[in-house]
Amino acid sequence: MDKDNSLAENPLLAPWTGPFEAPPFDRLKPSHFEKAFEAALAGAAAEAAAIAANPEPPSFENTIEALERSGHDLTRVAAVFFNLASADTNDEFEAIERDMAPRLARHRSEIYLNDALFQRIAALHARRGELGLDAERLRVLDRYYTAFVRNGGGLPDATKARLAGINERLATLGTKFGQNVLADEKAYMLVLAAKDDLAGLPASLVSAAARTAADRGLQGSHGITLSRSSIEPFLQFSARRDLREKAFAAWARRGETGGVTDNRAIASEMVKLRAERAKLLGHESFAHFRLADTMAKTPQEALGLLQSVWAPALGQALREEEALQAIAAGEGGNFKVAPWDWRYYAEKRRKAEFDLDEAEIKPYFQLDKMIEAAFFTANRLFGLSFTERKDVPLYHRDVRSWTVTGQDGREIALFIGDYFARPSKRSGAWMSSFREQRKLDGEVLPIVVNVLNFAKAAEGETCLLSFDDARTLFHEFGHALHGMLSDVTYPLLSGTNVARDFVEFPSQLYEHWLEQAEVLRRFALHHETSEPMPEALLQRLLSARQFNQGFATVEYTASALVDLALHLEPDADAIDIVAFEGKQLEKLGMPGSIIMRHRTPHFQHIFSGDSYSAGYYSYLWSEILDADGFEAFEESGDIFDPALARKLHDHVYASGYSRDPEEAYKAFRGRMAKPDALLRKRGLAESPRGDA
């Protein structure tokens, strides 16, 4: 690593003067981050100390706005680093991440546990009604006060010291957990060397598997990795039950290999530390602590929702299992359907019941056309236009960028798309920001990124997606719009910085537009002929939207219930997370043919940091909102209804956290969401129109 560059030459700390003031990716080295973090941490600490020591009486301007302006370099360096550490990491980045995670946690604790700072904020909050603040300023003051209290502000020194120690340890453990999962994923490839190993696989998967093997130095072979875009279609199509079982075992046991990447002890310690932190903060359990600042408010509310869905979903899944067992038996299979069989026989069942074949659908779902479809929908709803740029340096040759303009032609954001799986990228799909929108001290436009893990096609071939892949693309683009359309003054309230069980609403709502015939007729075009999907096929595709929903709901809901149960433990002393998982699933009556969508040793949502810990239920909570919200467009008779789109823009996508989520939803919909819309969407209840 280069050790001789000075701070003056560090591109992370210098002004970013390139196109759109985007990060200078073409000039960045790992050593730049080490030195930039050092300088930025020192600067942020000095700024916070100056605010705390200000001899002037606290005011909104010298305390809250000053905090919002502070730490600019640290925010910028951290945003670039952690995006790269997730999307294009290497050994040097991982070493820096392990070093910086506890140090950043320590810095965060020093801010939140600074008593002089807390007293200034508490004094302002106590007389907030006398300050003459507008609604957004009142909101940002309230959020600062809430954040400081929830992080230990005002507690005795000994308690604060213990909280700081817990936070550092959790940061270290969360980083290690995520790196272990990535290491297990990178280390595994199922090599398909014989012709018979490819039995049942469609041409698109064979091609992608050939590229995967070639990229790992095995020219002429085929490889299946643990990326969902590789493993799931393999499980769906491979006629080799022995190979399906082998690949599935590796997928299910990520983080549970017994070696240096085993996550069981890490997760156990994290659960215990979280329980202790919650008690120190005055809460019955970590789940009570986390949900107190969400729409759900209490674990009981979240559990009530999950349990209301579990029973009908389990019943549906058991009926689905019977149907799959019958297909297997009809083919002479003398075995009970296992988790590595489900997707294979479900595909056969879908073909039999809906005359629908993934190999027939996939040629109509070109990646580029689905990107266009997402852009088209944003244009129809919000008047946005997207122009691809070639002049913005990016961090990988496969990454693309677009300037986003509003209806009036003004630039509003830079959008970055990173679509293909690679060993340097963690699995899954997500949205993040290299820069968040704000208007404090002038307009700052957001730089938003979508990161996905689609299998890259062979050279000269078209990247084809499954319908589920396309839905994921729309989902993440819904998050991206939430960041790009943000129109607030204060960074704390910007974009997706909202309650955890509200953040999935804009993204899940956006998925609905992919499933509309008007969009599919325009963009579901055959990759060879450019002909639109035949109307009969399109209708069969749409009629099968609720197919296999028992399975999908059970694998998700089981994960959410186990997450909540883990974090409801009051002490969680030396918990065996795998045994705990097994006991909870047994209580639920989990079918042996289905496993959790995310087993605890690789459950990155809840252990690679705190983002979704005790909060994985939030996807289902938000689904009540998205199901009910899209029904508003259906009831209007126009899926792009301009008046509804304007309300959606103003009260949801543009408003960030400037208002309470319930108020935001009511302002869009005119009322609170009706939960039965969720069951109708998943086909677990009768719709008012009578279709299941």
pLDDT above 90 for 222: yes
At 192-219, the pLDDT tens digits run 999 999 999 999 899 999 999 999 999 9
Asked whether 463 and 454 are in contact (CB, 8 A), the reply is: yes
What percent of the chain is modeled with pLDDT above 90? Answer: 94
pLDDT grade, residue 358 (50/70/90)?
Answer: confident
Beta carbons of 471 and 373 less than 8 angstroms apart: no
Q: What are phi and psi of 383, to 5 degrees?
A: 75, 20
Under 8 Å between Cβ of 607 and 265: no
For residue range 664-682, what is the model confidence (pLDDT) as tens digits?
A: 999 999 999 999 999 899 9
Judged against a pLDDT cut of 80, whether residue 691 lies above it is answered with no
Token duo for residue 97: 């991440």
Q: What is the set of active-site residues?
A: 476
| pLDDT in the model for residue 308 | 95
What pLDDT score does 347 carry?
Answer: 96
pLDDT (0 to 100) of residue 1 = 38
pLDDT over threshold 60, residue 4: no
Burial degree of 169 (CB within 10 A; 0-12, 13-18, 19+): middle
Q: What is the pLDDT of residue 570?
A: 85
Residue at token pair 């042996």: 592
| Residue 13 clears pLDDT 60, i.e. is over it | yes
Q: What is the predicted pLDDT for the residue at 397? A: 96
Domain boundaries, the chain: 7-112+114-150, 188-252, 264-356+548-616, 364-543+620-681
Evaluated on CA atoms 69, 73, 75, 76, the torsion sign reads positive
- Output the CATH code of domain 364-543+620-681: 1.10.1370.40
Task: Please say if the pLDDT value at position 269 is more than 90.
Answer: yes
Do 7-112+114-150 and 264-356+548-616 agree at the fold level?
Answer: no
Answer yes or no: is pLDDT of 3 > 90: no
The reported pLDDT for the residue numbered 459 is 86
pLDDT tens-digit readout, 573-608: 889 999 999 999 999 999 999 999 999 999 999 999
Q: Match domain 7-112+114-150 to its CATH number in 3.20.20.150, 3.40.640.10, 1.20.1050.40, 1.10.3720.10.
A: 1.20.1050.40
User: pLDDT tier at 359 (50, 70, 90 boundaries)?
Assistant: confident
Model pLDDT, residue 2? 44
Give me the pLDDT at residue 109, please. 97
Per-residue pLDDT reduced to its tens digit, 89-111: 999 999 999 999 999 999 999 99
Task: Write the pLDDT tens digit of every residue in 461-515.
Answer: 999 999 999 999 999 999 999 999 999 999 999 999 999 999 999 999 999 999 9
* Rounded CA separation 511/497 (Å): 21
- Indicate if the pLDDT at residue 5 is higher than 70: no
- What does residue 341 show for φ and ψ, rounded to 5 degrees? -100, -25
Res 522 pLDDT > 60:
yes
What is the rounded average pLDDT of the residues 240-250?
A: 98
**Percent of the chain whose predicted confidence (pLDDT) is above 70:** 98
Mean pLDDT of the chain: 95
* Mean pLDDT value across residues 433-454: 97
Check whether 450 has a pLDDT greater than 90: yes
CATH number corresponding to 264-356+548-616:
1.10.1370.10
Find how far residue 211's CA is from the centre of its chain: 27
- In whole angstroms, give the CA distance from residue 654 to residue 493: 11
* pLDDT digit string, tens, across residues 33-62: 999 999 999 999 999 999 999 999 999 999
Is it the case that residue 237 has pLDDT exceeding 60? yes
Q: What is the pLDDT of residue 384?
A: 98
- Check pLDDT > 80 for residue 686: no
For residue 145, pLDDT beyond 60: yes
Model confidence band, residue 685 (pLDDT cutoffs 50, 70, 90)? confident
Q: Are 453 and 429 in contact (CB under 8 A)?
A: yes
Which is it for strands 190-192 and 222-224: parallel, antiparallel or unpaired? Answer: antiparallel
